[in-house]
Chain A
Amino acid sequence: KNQVEQSPQSLIILEGKNCTLQCNYTVSPFSNLRWYKQDTGRGPVSLTIMTFSENTKSNGRYTATLDADTKQSSLHITASQLSDSASYICVVLTDSWGKLQFGAGTQVVVTP
């Protein structure tokens, strides 16, 4: 069964600190893995996209890693800001028609 599992479910971090979110997937076929940021009541916004041959990709303070052998990915947020408070969702693109398989997300709360 195609699944995308994320951990932790939620976390609270102090402004300025770093954090790392985890994603495990058992999706086949695999085309690429994406991390999205979703603010409450809004649509997901893409942070990074990685194919199976890419190990790491950065977008500002966000750095994603991918291990296609173990089917694991992580998203590292550096020097968190209050505006980073959101749900971070790991998503796998599964087929040629572009169907996305979503994880449940990690709810990140950054406090002053």
Chain B
Amino acid sequence: AQKVTQAQTEISVVEKEDVTLDCVYETRDTTYYLFWYKQPPSGELVFLIRRNSFDEQNEISGRYSWNFQKSTSSFNFTITASQVVDSAVYFCALSPLSAKIIQGAQKLVFGQGTRLTINP
């Protein structure tokens, strides 16, 4: 079974603080992809990152960084020096390769999301 857990339902911090959003996943596939999406109040889903299960290198993109640890099945997301515009719901998602092989289509399993509020 595939499952993504985002234990933090809501996080509220003051602007300029660093904040880490946790994501823990479960899968029996040895090859899979992990994603993070941002959903601002307007409702659209914004793609942030995709990570292949064979690539455990951490990634940094501006104020965003991702820590992928296969040993703990975690793919955490850190925002450095947070800004009010970072306020949104953030979703972590998993896509097992087996779904793509069997059904020819990548299927995303989403976590419940973390609502992040950055206060001025």
Partners in one complex: no
Measured CB to CB, the residues of A under 8 A from B are: none
Residues of B within 8 A of A (CB): none
